Structure 1
Amino acid sequence: MTQARTRLFAATVIASAYAFAAPASAQDCQSRGDLDQLYCDRNGDLVADAPTDAKDWKDPDTLVFTYTPVEDPAVYANIFKPFQEELGKCTGKKVLYFQVQSNAAEIEAMRSGRLHVAGFSTGPTGFAVNLAGAVPFAVKGDESGFQGYQLWMLVKADSPYKTLGDLKGKKIAHTSPSSNSGNLAPRALFPELGLVPEKDYQVLYSGKHDQSVMGVVSGDYDAAPVASDVYTRMVHRGQVDGNKIRVIYKSETFPTSSFAHAHNLKPELAQKLVQCFTSYRFPEEMKKAFEGADRFVPVTYKDAWAVVRKVADGSGTPFNAATYAKQKQ
């Protein structure tokens, strides 16, 4: 996400808080934690509760679905086509795939009610939960559990850089402000390893993980922290020659993209969506695209995203509107 889009999203989120009156149930809320004023969390699971008044439930004839734009959105529109068709059969509704160009656009689409179910990148999941009322319920995986990924620091294979310390004063591409592996995790993890973003190197936002990777290959950037699964998929698809890239750092494992529904869907529809996702088994082309994952594994935001929230808090960028307001300045 470019800085201009980040500023626009910050302004949009803040304006939305005033443009949309909070439901009475949210206004009367005694427990919302980090959630925006539009939402309430009475049961302490860290995600927005469904509205208490049935008239506020949404049961659309057409479900709008999308997946995080970590790469070219058209790539994922094709990958998810078999699932999109099955989701329509399972729910008995028309399913429309909505291509989004940025994490901010995806989050705002759910906040405004234009997006009903979506895959959010690891970092943006926190913003989607707190600012858009998203309720994560699954992550790609297999019978052994949900799929994870690591933050990898990439450099050109023929570069002289061997450690993070070698990158001081160099040009390093982060992906977007809300990205976990592309921005938040480096800010939280690198300082204790002797490399402080903004101090030891200038942060240059590329916008997306694939653009960071290609920027390293082309020499536009000396290095880039990216999600290991995105990079691996690019190599397998032949988008980049893995022999031209070297990995000089690997982090602990984070959960990969979440799948979440809007908090205000009719409860029966929300339950049906979860069932449709978790009972689905990926066809071969989806398994290949997602590194062997063959299903959607049930998870909760409270448990699966604990390490991600820790990184966000540790990097001084908690998942709230104030973070975007700071980035506007």
Structure 2
Amino acid sequence: MQKGFLGFLAAVLILAFAGLAFAEECSNRGILDTMYCDNDKDLVADNAPAGECKDPSTLVFTYTPVEDPAVYQDLFADFQAHIKKVTGKDVIYYTVHSNSAQVEAMRSGRLHIAGYSTGPTGFAVNLAGYVPIAVKGDEKEFQGYNLIVIVKKDSPIQTMADLKGKKVAHTSPSSNSGNLAPRALFPAQGIVPDEDYTVVYSGKHDQSVLGVVHGDYDAAPVASDVYERMLRAGRVDEGAVRIIFTSPRFPTSSFGYSSQLCPELVEKIKEAFFSYRYTEEMKKAFDGADRFFPITYQKDWAVIRDIAEATGASYNEEGLQAMIAKEKADAEKKAKKQ
């Protein structure tokens, strides 16, 4: 009887000390998923503990599915070779076809290094333990972009007020320039998405641009850097569309790593990013950027978080599920049209 009681008491004490240890290990989580801690309060997940971190033999890398994934797989091949040289590990490219799939891939541990587009970066940080460390840039500054609103060259639409009653293509629910920023910024221009005009999700920035060119949509808010790349590539003729609105500048897609990787490996990944210089093909594709410029999520993504807050976007599980549902519904609609 006494032995049983002592055994029970020992078990209670073990659980109590384990709970105390856990509380000490995770004194702050903020709005991160329960899998992660943010003890230093920099808004991103702390490195995984030494005994729990991951040191994979092969690193998996991908870039945001904002445009044709195959183009970027080839474009980043030289950078992947550089990561291999610095880390000593093989690196493979993992193709994703949606923002939510990219977030899920890192959360599940299948993705280790990535470039997320501006809006989904917040989901990746809070739900997948993603740590952004860089943006495309040059020696002086990181590369930014503007939200622009385009209409067909011969469209009667001249001002934002003219969008009332029209069909306007947003890209996807999680996109910053393609959806969140318009919802936050347009009311000050006298126009409210979903109230003053009909929102139709195109899926991607390039599809929004081409949809305006072909007359499928009356207008579209898109990222200026995507539009400029399409011009250079000859996918859109110069003068095919007009710009009726230009926003302040936002940071472009972020690059970083999974917080679940071991600290020694993380340091090598950081070294790979900041010692690398872009190939001529990358400079051409990325508007003259020649390197990865260091940033922090806490400071440099503040404007993006403000936009998300203004639009009621939640970088949590509920928000991610809403994004997944919307992406699925949009895909089904497109499949029916084809």
- 2:242 aligned partner: 246
Where 1:190 maps in the other structure, the secondary structure is: helix
| 2:260 equivalent to 1:269 | no
1:47–1:134 Cα contact (<8 Å) kept: yes
Distance 1:230 1:179 in 2: 13
- 2:156 aligned partner: 160
Matches within 5 A, 1:180-219: 180-219=176-215
Show CA shifts across 1:189-239 (max 9, x none).
Answer: 001111101101111111111111111111111111111001101110111
Show CA shifts across 1:266-305 (max 9, x none).
Answer: 0011111111111101111110000000000111100010
Q: CA deviation at 1:87?
A: 1.5
| 2:307 equivalent to 1:311 | yes
2:100–2:320 Cα contact (<8 Å) kept: no
- 1:34 aligned partner: 31
Q: 1:27 to 1:102 in 2, by over 3 A?
A: farther
2:231–2:238 Cα contact (<8 Å) kept: yes
- 1:20 aligned partner: none
The number of aligned residues is 305
| 2:275 equivalent to 1:288 | no
Q: 1:27 to 1:128 in 2, by over 3 A?
A: farther
Mind listing any 5+ residue stretches in structure 2 that lack a counterpart?
Answer: 1-20, 327-338
1:175–1:207 Cα contact (<8 Å) kept: yes
- 1:174 aligned partner: 170
Counterpart amino acid of residue 44 in structure 1: K
TM-score by length of 2: 0.87
Mind listing any 5+ residue stretches in structure 1 that lack a counterpart?
Answer: 1-23
Matches within 5 A, 1:54-203: 54-203=50-199
Distance 2:111 2:24 in 1: 23
| 2:44 equivalent to 1:44 | no
Counterpart amino acid of residue 171 in structure 2: T
1:141–1:296 Cα contact (<8 Å) kept: yes
Q: 1:28 to 1:172 in 2, by over 3 A?
A: same
1:26–1:40 Cα contact (<8 Å) kept: no
Where 1:95 maps in the other structure, the secondary structure is: strand
Distance 1:166 1:123 in 2: 27
Q: CA deviation at 1:25?
A: 4.7
Q: CA deviation at 1:28?
A: 6.2
- 1:19 aligned partner: none
Q: 1:294 to 1:43 in 2, by over 3 A?
A: same
- Larger Rg computed on CA atoms: 2
Q: 1:41 to 1:241 in 2, by over 3 A?
A: same
Distance 1:290 1:239 in 2: 16
RMSD: 1.5
Distance 1:271 1:90 in 2: 10
Q: Which moved more, 1:40-49 or 1:85-94?
A: 85-94
Q: CA deviation at 1:90?
A: 1.6
Q: 1:27 to 1:114 in 2, by over 3 A?
A: farther
Distance 2:116 2:264 in 1: 23
Q: CA deviation at 1:27?
A: 10
Q: CA deviation at 1:173?
A: 0.6
- 1:11 aligned partner: none
Q: 1:166 to 1:269 in 2, by over 3 A?
A: same
| 2:222 equivalent to 1:235 | no
1:26–1:37 Cα contact (<8 Å) kept: no
Distance 2:167 2:23 in 1: 45
Where 1:307 maps in the other structure, the secondary structure is: helix
1:173–1:221 Cα contact (<8 Å) kept: yes
Show CA shifts across 1:134-170 (max 9, x none).
Answer: 0000100001110000101011111111111101111
